Amino acid sequence: MAHTSFPCEVLTPEGEVFNDEVVQISTKTSVGSIGILAKHQPMLAMLDPTELRLYKSESDVVSLVQGEGYLQVQHDGRVLILVDEAGDAADIDQGEWEERLRRAEEELSNAEKDSHQAQTAARDKRRAEAFLEILRGAS
């Protein structure tokens, strides 16, 4: 079954990661998983770290790891995904993310409860755990 395509752009602070037509997007928001198809209602959602799947067709899927950020479905049907980190799982160093997880856990245990430092460490820990889960699943 053919699906209608729509433009999708994925941006990080370092620049553009993806910019192409897709027929479906699958990701995770702060309130749960979501799928986006053409002609979706305009919306804005906060994104959690997860695997971002961009379906160029039913058989051509671009899979990226995604950090925290925002997804915007615009009135014209374009989708903009702004995240702090995104990339191909194959390009991510698992050892580096294991070290990031270790540091985040250490910072979290040393931080004062409910402090900014504790919130930042908890966010970094969630991201590292999500990226490692994706990397281990891809192995």
Which residue in 129, 127, 62, 132 sits closest to 93, CA to CA?
A: 132
pLDDT at 112 over 80: yes
Q: What is the CATH architecture assignment of 6-89?
A: Sandwich (2.60)
Which residue in 29, 12, 9, 4 sits closest to 20, CA to CA?
A: 9
The mean pLDDT of 108-126, rounded to a whole number, is 89
pLDDT at 138 over 70: no
pLDDT at 139 over 70: no
**Cα distances (angstroms) measured from residue 36 to each of 23, 29, 60:** 8, 12, 16
- What per-residue confidence (pLDDT) applies to 40? 93
> What span, in angstroms and rounded, lies between the C-alpha atoms of 37 and 55?
10
| Interval 47-100: pLDDT, tens | 999 999 999 998 999 999 999 999 999 999 999 999 998 988 778 788 888 999
Confidence of residue 114 (pLDDT cuts 50, 70, 90): confident
